[in-house]
């Protein structure tokens, strides 16, 4: 994919900033490890299933509800897998980490008087765990979960409903996310300024977008 080095906006054209959580502000390694390694391991032990077979089964199961509200609904997965998913997240909360230059970026926005909102698919219980570990919650004017909106961010209905919950000017709002399907949805709704995170996980190499300005870290937005 073509690397797009330069974001196509200046800060004097931005009033409001929407920020994703997982893979954008926080290292996605936690989520990848949790769903792809830890949950299969626990499920395998509980149900006496071969670990590799179990992992393949669960990854296939996850994909059935990808990009829907169910994907991030801890209650849904607790019931479907007969596991206490929230408790399992607590067990490995020490793996939750902030991404490079996030703190500096949030200060950068504050210094410039921008309104900052956390806009996430994360379940409220997940937020409780993560923002308890990485205390950046005070940086946001408001935290908006897809569970509250009633649609996942991958769906254009999310943005239509968000506009009624938290009005924003499409031409003067910046949105940053690590998932291109989410950015596609935001663009379809009409948001002008979109940034893709190319390195959401510290354990994986960057993958740059061919469709959006794509950055490795928020250091690239400290201008």
23, 34: one domain: no
15, 42: one domain: no
Mean pLDDT of 114-118: 98
- pLDDT at position 5 over 80: no
87, 127: one domain: no
Q: Decide if 54 contacts 211 (C-beta within 8 A).
A: no
- pLDDT at position 170 over 70: yes
* DSSP H/E element including 159: helix 156-165
- pLDDT at position 1 over 50: no
Give φ, ψ of 193 to 5 degrees. Answer: -105, 105
In whole angstroms, how far apart are CA 152 and each of 66, 186, 214?
10, 11, 22
Q: What pLDDT does residue 157 have?
A: 97
The tens digit of pLDDT for each residue in 31-83 reads 999 999 999 999 999 999 898 999 999 999 999 999 899 999 999 999 999 99
Q: What pLDDT does residue 7 have?
A: 84
Mean pLDDT of 148-171: 97
% pLDDT > 90, the chain: 94
In whole angstroms, how far apart are CA 194 and each of 87, 118, 138, 177, 213?
35, 15, 24, 8, 7
166, 180: one domain: yes
174, 205: one domain: yes
With cut-offs at 50, 70 and 90, classify the pLDDT of residue 6: low
Q: What pLDDT does residue 70 have?
A: 92
User: Phi/psi zone of residue 101: left (φ > 0), alpha (ψ -120 to 50 degrees), beta?
Assistant: left
- Please provide the DSSP assignment of 97-148 as one string: -BPTTHHHHHHHHHHTT-EEEEEE---HHHHHHHHHHS--GGG-SEEEEHHH
Could you tell me which residues come within 8 angstroms of residue 143 by beta carbon, excluding any fewer than 6 positions away? 117, 118, 120, 127, 137
Q: What pLDDT does residue 4 have?
A: 54
The verdict on residue 64 lying in a domain is yes
| Closest to 162 in 3D by CA, of 141, 148, 177, 181 | 148
Mean pLDDT of 149-165: 97
- pLDDT at position 2 over 80: no
Q: How far apart are CA 116 and CA 124, in angstroms?
A: 18
Higher pLDDT, residue 18 or 6: 18
- pLDDT at position 197 over 60: yes
pLDDT averaged over the chain? 95
- How many structural domains is the chain composed of? 2
The verdict on residue 5 lying in a domain is no
Q: Which domain holds residue 194?
A: 11-27+96-221
Mean pLDDT of 163-175: 97
Residue 110: CB atoms within 10 A of its CB come to 11
Q: What is the pTM of this model?
A: 0.95
210, 114: one domain: yes
């Amino acid at each position: 994919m073509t690397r797009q080095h330069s974001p196509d906006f200046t800060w004097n054209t931005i009033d409001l900033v929407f920020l994703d959580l997982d893979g954008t502000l926080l290292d996605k390694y936690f989520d990848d490890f949790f769903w792809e390694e830890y949950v299969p391991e626990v499920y395998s032990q509980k149900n006496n299933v071969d670990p590799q077979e179990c992992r393949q089964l669960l990854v296939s199961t996850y994909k059935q509800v990808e990009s829907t509200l169910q994907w991030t609904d801890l209650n849904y997965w607790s019931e479907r897998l007969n596991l206490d998913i929230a408790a399992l997240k607590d067990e490995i909360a020490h793996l939750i980490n902030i991404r490079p230059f996030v703190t500096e970026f949030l200060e950068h926005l504050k210094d410039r008087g921008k309104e900052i909102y956390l806009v996430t698919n994360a379940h409220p219980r997940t937020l409780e765990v993560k923002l308890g570990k990485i205390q950046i919650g005070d940086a946001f004017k408001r935290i908006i979960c897809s569970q509250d909106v009633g649609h996942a961010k991958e769906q254009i209905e999310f943005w239509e409903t968000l506009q009624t919950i938290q009005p924003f000017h499409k031409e003067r709002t910046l949105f940053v996310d690590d998932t291109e399907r989410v950015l596609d949805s935001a663009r379809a709704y009409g948001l002008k300024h979109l940034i893709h995170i190319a390195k959401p996980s510290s354990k994986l190499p960057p993958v740059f977008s061919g469709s959006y300005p794509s950055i490795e870290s928020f250091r690239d937005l400290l201008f």
